[in-house]
Structure 1
Amino acid sequence: MQVSVETTSQIERRVKVQVPASEVDQAVASRLKDTAKNVRLNGFRQGKVPMSVIRQRYGRGVRNEVVSEMMRERYVQAITQESLNPAGYPQIEPTVDEEGKDLEFVATLEIYPQVELNGVEGAEVERPVVDISDADVDEMIETLRKQHATWEEVDREAAEGDQVTIDFQGYIDGEPFDGGKADNHELVLGSGSFIPGFEEQLVGAKPGEDKTLNVTFPTDYQAEQLAGKEATFEVTIHKVSTQQLPEIDAEFFEKFGVEDGSEETFRAEVLKNMQREADKAIDNRVKQQVLEALKKANDIAVPQSLIDQETDGLKRQAAQQFGLGEDFDVSQLPNELFSEQAKSRVQVGLLLAEVIKVNEIDASDDEIQAKVEEVAQQYQEPEQVVEYYMNNEQLKNQIKSSILEDKAVDRLLEQASVKDVEMSYQEALQAAQQQSEDDDADENEASEDETQA
């Protein structure tokens, strides 16, 4: 077997392979003999059909099978011989495939990029410092009360914060439009869930009243056919309900797993959960800044095959998130919606793998156990969660990968210029969310720039 490799880009290779005709023809002949043993043709006993007839009837098909198998086998031998590290599957095409002639084929493949890692020295990273106050805990408890609130019907005008049960029909230029009608819809006034102006005009409405609302759809409304259009809604108010918050008592505490009926225990549990959420937000904000700095310092070529794999994974996540069902064909979702995020993830993954390799970072069994126990604390029966994780190699590997990634980020953070910034609990959560949105926006902008180029 003769092999030659052509470099067509930083990460693309064309591997040309030549296999002696004698090897191919011998393999075809052997396969035809095996085929002949089981062939049934009129006028011949099984296994007694002349080889000339077998070759005439089955020769081309058998050769195609043999050549296809041989190309796959010799491709693996070739990349092993040439020490190539493929990313994804190759495109294999025969260039010479004739009896009596050497088999020649070309495999076009992408390889993992060679990364000469640049550090993040000098990168500026803001690290939130959060002190959760009693007022923050009080605010969180009020939020929890609202989440467990009930609604009680009242016979009065609707006020902001009330829930109204309504029928509505929308019109543009006097004609009904798709999606503009609903019956017995429950709407909380002031929630901002409807277009601007709709909820405000229902403040003061009474049960049994009919109202006509005039509104204008925002220019950036998601349904393009409605964006910027003036609309009229005919609304019937059936009910007005006021929110009833649960009492802060033992019954309320029990809903959150506090069984001793103590408000002190309940507040401590709320504080612990808030601290966990704040720590997570801080870590995420710091991590995203570090990873963004790492990407800027290392503009590497990213194999398209890996981007495609990641894009497919993001599509499946989106389908699951929006409840589209397991049978939903994710190919219906446009690649453009996910490709830049996928490219960013692959780039970060490749760079972090190099950081882990260069710094010889590893995770011990004890560290994995400790991380699993930390994750398990979020569940009602942590002991069962720990046992489940520790007996599942796939889940253990996921935990190990998470540990290695965190250690790599910590190692990079040592190189950066870190500035502690005092923030409130809410500011820290909002900052982490804003960081994530900014990163998504940067990826989308990069995608648009590439498209225009």
Structure 2
Amino acid sequence: MKKKVLIALLALTVAVSAMGCGSKKSDSEDSTKAKTESSSEEEKTAEEVETDSDGHVVAVDTDDITKYVTLGDYKNLSVKVPKTEVTDDSISEYINEQLTYKPEEITEDRAVQENDTVNIDYTGYMDGKEFSGGSATDTDLLIGSGQFIDGFESGLIGAKKGDEVTLNLKFPDPYQNNPDFSGKDVQFKVKINKISQPAELTDEWVSNNSDVKTVDEYKAEVKATLETSADMEYNNNKKSNLFEALVNKTEISEYPDDLMEAAKEKVEKQFENYYAKPSGMTLDEYWKSQSITEDQASQYIEAQAQTNLKQNMIVQAVLDAEGITFTKDEYREQLDKFAKEYGFKDAEALEQAYTDAELVKDNVLWSKVCDILEKYGTITDVAEDETTDETTTDSNTAESSDSTETTADGETQTAN
């Protein structure tokens, strides 16, 4: 089971989705692959991250950050953070997902059901003619996964192995994957090659699909992994909530032109390296492929750059207020700590996964500042499904009888 990597400041996948691009699971997987595979001569190694005139690694390089940032009271923040409890039900849910995504071919003569995986050949027709990208052979499809347009998967339920099914459907409007198809009628002819169903949880399945041998060992492994993931999610939410609370208390009077231009160049380069280049496109070609106009792209890049710059300016303001600086060697120590906190073996492993050293640096310094906010602040744990104002400044509003509260001195007490 893969560890979840949480990068805090810039989530490019979310950014693209916000602009109206595809948000299907496959898009997310492609972006993750791009992160690990894309490389550029213009990207820096950790040893080459930008420093100020004193040789310090900084979030923003300016002589006096207080000219632009009126920092809120970062020593008295109080936030609520949802805490996930790993239960028997959540363990079973995870295991059932694994059994569903690693199915076994059925031998009996029965029809396709929900949660079956079918192997199919299909051909798409529009106005009576085959269209590009509408056909494939030997394709596995999980019924109910939502990978295909509405009506495709449900239209196969009831068919048997060897059947040929004709589906008369309509593309959604809008259809982001290909706007030219939006709202158009389409016909698919589908052949069912084989049907598989979710596997049964047995020692044999466990032995073939994990590093342990028995069902009991597998359940224990899943529990440990889910608990680690929950801890990482809790830690990230804690940091995010604290920083958001500080942002809400802080005022930015001005964004220096040189810093803003550099921030825009950074965002544009990230889109180019993470999305356009892995697709074999220029950035302009990528925008067009996503039906994003030049003006829309420009407006988004500027807005995202301002968001990133605001966060970095606040980070620098806290570091300056605390009198904290980092030589390259000291930054390297922080990078290694950050890497291990987010599930990597060490800094080198993180750098292999995220080759953009400047983006990683932004996150490392952000995380350090969040640790400072936590040291001074008050954290109230709440149940995951409890509706709360995560950035509240009144810790006494916690209503959960089993909530816990961590005070500035690190002690834990019951929150009444």
Q: TM-score range by the shorter chain?
A: 0.5 to 0.7
Which residue number corresponds to residue 251 of structure 2? 298
Which residue number corresponds to residue 230 of structure 2? 278
- Conserved 8 A contact 2:125-2:187: yes
CA distance in 2, matches of 1:205, 1:263: 33
Closer/same/farther in 2, CA of residues 397 and 276 from structure 1, 3 Å limit: farther
Structure 1: tracts of 5 or more residues without a match: 1-79, 89-109, 432-453
Which residue number corresponds to residue 11 of structure 2? none
Indicate which of 297, 319, 330 corresponds to 1:356.
Answer: 319
Verify: 1:374 aligned to 2:336, yes or no.
no
CA distance in 1, matches of 2:85, 2:72: 32
CA deviation map 1:375-406 (0-9, x unaligned): 59x57xx5xx589899xxx9999988755432
Indicate which of 307, 319, 322 corresponds to 2:275.
Answer: 319
Closer/same/farther in 2, CA of residues 403 and 269 from structure 1, 3 Å limit: farther
**Cα deviation, residue 361, structure 1:** 3.8
- Conserved 8 A contact 1:208-1:236: no
CA distance in 2, matches of 1:311, 1:369: 22
Closer/same/farther in 2, CA of residues 241 and 154 from structure 1, 3 Å limit: farther
CA distance in 1, matches of 2:148, 2:339: 43
- 1:420 is matched by which residue type in structure 2? D
- Conserved 8 A contact 1:115-1:354: no
Closer/same/farther in 2, CA of residues 264 and 198 from structure 1, 3 Å limit: closer
CA distance in 1, matches of 2:350, 2:239: 25
Closer/same/farther in 2, CA of residues 171 and 395 from structure 1, 3 Å limit: closer
CA distance in 1, matches of 2:378, 2:116: 49
CA distance in 1, matches of 2:357, 2:202: 40
Verify: 1:210 aligned to 2:161, yes or no.
no
Verify: 1:288 aligned to 2:240, yes or no.
yes
Which residue number corresponds to residue 411 of structure 2? none
- Conserved 8 A contact 1:361-1:407: no
Closer/same/farther in 2, CA of residues 280 and 243 from structure 1, 3 Å limit: same
- Conserved 8 A contact 1:212-1:233: yes
Which residue number corresponds to residue 228 of structure 1? 183
| TM-score (norm. length: structure 1) | 0.55
- Conserved 8 A contact 1:189-1:199: yes
Indicate which of 130, 138, 142 corresponds to 2:92.
Answer: 138
- 1:218 is matched by which residue type in structure 2? P
Alignment map for 1:157-196 (pairs within 5 Å) = 157-196=111-150
Verify: 1:347 aligned to 2:310, yes or no.
yes
Which residue number corresponds to residue 70 of structure 2? 117
Which residue number corresponds to residue 409 of structure 1? 370
- 2:110 is matched by which residue type in structure 1? R
CA distance in 2, matches of 1:301, 1:329: 29
Which residue number corresponds to residue 263 of structure 2? 307
CA distance in 2, matches of 1:212, 1:204: 13
CA distance in 2, matches of 1:118, 1:372: 25
**Cα deviation, residue 128, structure 1:** 0.6
Which has a greater percent of strand? Answer: 1
Closer/same/farther in 2, CA of residues 400 and 116 from structure 1, 3 Å limit: closer
Please tell me whether Structure 1 or Structure 2 has the larger radius of gyration of its CA atoms.
1
CA distance in 2, matches of 1:112, 1:250: 64
- 1:298 is matched by which residue type in structure 2? E
CA distance in 2, matches of 1:217, 1:403: 44
**Cα deviation, residue 153, structure 1:** 6.0
Higher relative contact order (CA 8 A, sep 6+): 2
- 1:225 is matched by which residue type in structure 2? D
- Conserved 8 A contact 1:219-1:228: yes
Closer/same/farther in 2, CA of residues 331 and 200 from structure 1, 3 Å limit: closer
Closer/same/farther in 2, CA of residues 401 and 191 from structure 1, 3 Å limit: closer
**Cα deviation, residue 221, structure 1:** 1.6
- Conserved 8 A contact 1:307-1:346: yes
Closer/same/farther in 2, CA of residues 151 and 359 from structure 1, 3 Å limit: farther
Alignment size in residue pairs: 308
CA distance in 2, matches of 1:264, 1:209: 40
SS at 1:405 equivalent? helix
Identity percentage over the alignment?
24
- Conserved 8 A contact 2:165-2:189: yes
Alignment map for 1:391-410 (pairs within 5 Å) = 404-410=365-371
**Cα deviation, residue 154, structure 1:** 5.2
CA deviation map 1:23-49 (0-9, x unaligned): xxxxxxxxxxxxxxxxxxxxxxxxxxx
RMSD over aligned CA atoms reads: 4.5
- 2:366 is matched by which residue type in structure 1? E
Closer/same/farther in 2, CA of residues 283 and 360 from structure 1, 3 Å limit: same
- 1:284 is matched by which residue type in structure 2? N
**Cα deviation, residue 174, structure 1:** 4.0
- 1:346 is matched by which residue type in structure 2? L
CA distance in 2, matches of 1:166, 1:389: 39
Which residue number corresponds to residue 198 of structure 1? 152
CA distance in 1, matches of 2:113, 2:146: 14
